[in-house]
């Protein structure tokens, strides 16, 4: 696996995935360090000259009115980290924490945070050697940045807090010692450089965005299988129809469905069997497409934030220091709320297609896709479970960014709640994964019933690849007594999560986002 080289302005979402989930090693482009050293020199001069600069020789937030002596500027930074690390809840997942560290390092090497080279290198060593700070997922209001969770990230660097190392939760000092990484003492401004920024919301949201992009293609696959199971009308996906309303998502989804069903004898044409299909089949380009456009918009914002400086104050190498609002999470909070909606809609329409498959009044299949319904319940409760997930998503999709609670003695009087938005998006995307896994199983089950009626019918090129992979791993469910559907659903979820489904399909047809 190739190393990821950080420059401060070229980090991509794919590289975030490679480091966070595939454990790619990371290096820093040496040229960036010149700017880091120059910015650091400015702060050292400020300390010596006792020029008043926020966060260097003043208190924080509303305590900026309090002057800090030259002798206490270093202790100020450790106090900042100790006092701000007050999170709550389950720890963030390893891939989320690794993404946080990666993005923070990339921001710091832009050379406007006045942090020492050795401090950056300590953080980088934690990433490359697998030290994963224990970061409770709750406690950030998204301005000033992610102060609370980022403080938990810093604690092990100081020999404090907790961290996972080789799958064991240890005291921060022990984790660092086992990894062979010396702990450090913070210098002037360094605590603020490390904990003030949008890094946590960006990392969580970036991973969710990547997963949503992948699941949008999976939704096209499961939707195409449902279309064929119902002998749906392919005319609704013709390019000439979408060329006259050329939203990119519409065009992409219609093309994906055409590619997936190429060569199918299961699809039909207008009035061949029925005049029109239900919306959940006919309107996939419009609904899936809208979600894709939403997710791609969010990705464009993630791409910017991955390479942004979100510290405060910003310290330029020419000596200018500017206190501003780059730490404010609003530019990411609103997109991540939008991501919630886009992912939730993909789950909503998928669940409605599941209902059409299991409901005998809406299909030609036996009730709940099982032989001898009554004796067997078949896929009955899979729809209940999917319904529960999409209902939960509707609650989670309430925008976090429309809320604000004043903090810090009314100095920080408008905050973003962006980290809540990113966590909501993550949870919605996780629920979406299970819903489309359920549709995948149900559609393949329905296709088997369809083939029983007419063995000569065949799937399209892409849907056949998806069906074959499912049947390699999950058999036809002919009764309740020989199967535990939870286990089969777990397998269906796993072949989506590990990329097997997309790999199998994209080996034979082209799919786009």
170 backbone φψ class: left, alpha, beta (φ>0; ψ -120 to 50): beta
> How many alpha carbons fall within 13 Å on the CB side of residue 437?
27
Rounded Cα gap, residues 94 and 217, in angstroms:
25
Q: Do the bridges between strand 162-165 and strand 4-6 make them parallel or antiparallel, or are there none, so unpaired?
A: unpaired
Q: 77 and 187 in contact (C-beta within 8 Å)?
A: yes
The beta strands (E) that lie in 128-198 are given as 131-133, 136-138, 162-165, 168-171
Question: What are the backbone dihedrals phi and psi of residue 2, each rounded to the nearest 5 degrees, phi first?
Answer: -70, 145
Q: Could you tell me the CA-to-CA distances from 226 to 431, 451, 487 in Å, in that order? A: 20, 14, 22
Q: Give just the sign of the alpha carbon dihedral 318, 323, 325, 327.
A: positive
In sign, the C-alpha dihedral spanning 223, 285, 260, 431 is negative
Rounded distance between C-alpha atoms, residue 179 and residue 160, angstroms: 15
Closest CA to 431 of 212, 234, 223, 230: 212
- Cβ count within 10 A of residue 213: 17
**Alpha carbons 248 and 44: distance in angstroms, whole number:** 51
| β strands within 111-191, DSSP E | 131-133, 136-138, 162-165, 168-171
The token duo for 206 is: 């970036």
In the residue annotation, 54 being an active-site residue is answered as yes
Q: What gap in Å lies between CA 199 and CA 101, rounded to an integer?
A: 8
43: tokens are 């702060």
Euclidean distance between CA atoms 512 and 489, whole angstroms = 26
Q: Which of 23, 54, 88, 467 is catalytic?
A: 54
Report DSSP letters for 65-111, one per residue: GSB--GGGHHHHHHHHHHHH---EEEEPPHHHHHHHHHHHHHHHTTS
**Annotated active-site positions, please?**
54
């Amino acid at each position: 696996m190739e190393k990821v080289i950080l420059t401060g302005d070229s980090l991509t979402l794919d590289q975030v995935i490679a480091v966070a989930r595939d454990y790619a090693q990371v290096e820093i482009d040496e040229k960036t360090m010149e700017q880091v050293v120059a910015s650091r020199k400015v702060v050292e001069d400020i300390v010596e000259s006792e020029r008043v600069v926020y966060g260097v020789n003043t208190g924080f937030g509303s305590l900026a009115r309090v002057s800090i002596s030259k002798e206490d500027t270093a202790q100020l930074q450790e106090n900042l980290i100790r006092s701000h690390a007050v999170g709550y809840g389950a720890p963030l997942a390893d891939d989320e924490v690794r993404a946080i560290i990666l993005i923070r390092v990339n921001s710091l090497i832009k050379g406007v945070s006045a942090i020492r080279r050795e401090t950056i290198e300590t953080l980088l060593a934690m990433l490359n050697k697998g030290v994963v700070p224990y970061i409770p997922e709750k406690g950030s209001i998204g301005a000033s940045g992610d102060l609370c969770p980022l403080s938990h990230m810093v604690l092990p660097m100081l020999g404090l807090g907790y961290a996972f190392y080789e799958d064991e939760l240890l005291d921060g000092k022990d984790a660092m010692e086992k990894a062979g990484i010396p702990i450090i003492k913070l210098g002037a401004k360094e605590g603020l450089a490390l904990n003030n920024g949008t890094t946590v919301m960006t990392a969580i949201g970036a991973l969710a965005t990547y997963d949503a992009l992948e699941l949008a293609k999976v939704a096209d696959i499961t939707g195409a299988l449902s279309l064929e199971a119902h002998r749906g009308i392919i005319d609704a996906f013709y390019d000439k129809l979408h060329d006259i309303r050329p939203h990119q998502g519409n065009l992409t989804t219609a093309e994906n469905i055409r590619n997936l069903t190429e060569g199918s004898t299961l699809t039909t044409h207008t009035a061949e069997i029925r005049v029109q299909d239900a919306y959940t089949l006919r309107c996939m380009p419009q609904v899936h497409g809208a979600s894709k456009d939403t997710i791609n918009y969010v990705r464009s914002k993630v791409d910017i934030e991955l390479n942004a400086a979100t510290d405060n104050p910003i310290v330029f190498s020419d000596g200018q220091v500017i206190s501003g609002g780059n730490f404010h999470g609003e530019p990411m909070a609103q997109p991540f709320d939008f991501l919630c909606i886009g992912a939730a809609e993909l789950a909503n329409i998928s669940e409605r297609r599941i209902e059409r498959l299991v409901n005998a009044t809406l299909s030609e299949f036996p009730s709940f896709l099982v032989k001898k319904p009554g004796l067997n319940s078949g896929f009955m409760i899979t729809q209940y479970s999917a319904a529960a997930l999409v209902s939960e998503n509707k609650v989670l999709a309430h925008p976090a960014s429309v809320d604000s609670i004043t903090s810090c003695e009314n100095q920080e009087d408008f905050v973003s709640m962006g980290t809540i938005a990113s966590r909501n998006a993550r949870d919605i995307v996780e629920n979406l994964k299970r819903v489309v896994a359920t549709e995948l199983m149900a559609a393949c089950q329905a296709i088997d019933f369809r083939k029983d009626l007419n063995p000569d019918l065949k799937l399209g090129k892409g849907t056949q690849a998806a069906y074959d992979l499912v049947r390699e791993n999950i058999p036809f469910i002919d009764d309740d007594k020989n199967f535990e559907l939870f286990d089969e659903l777990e397998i269906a979820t796993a072949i989506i999560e590990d990329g097997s489904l997309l790999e199998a399909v994209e080996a034979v047809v082209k799919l786009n986002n």
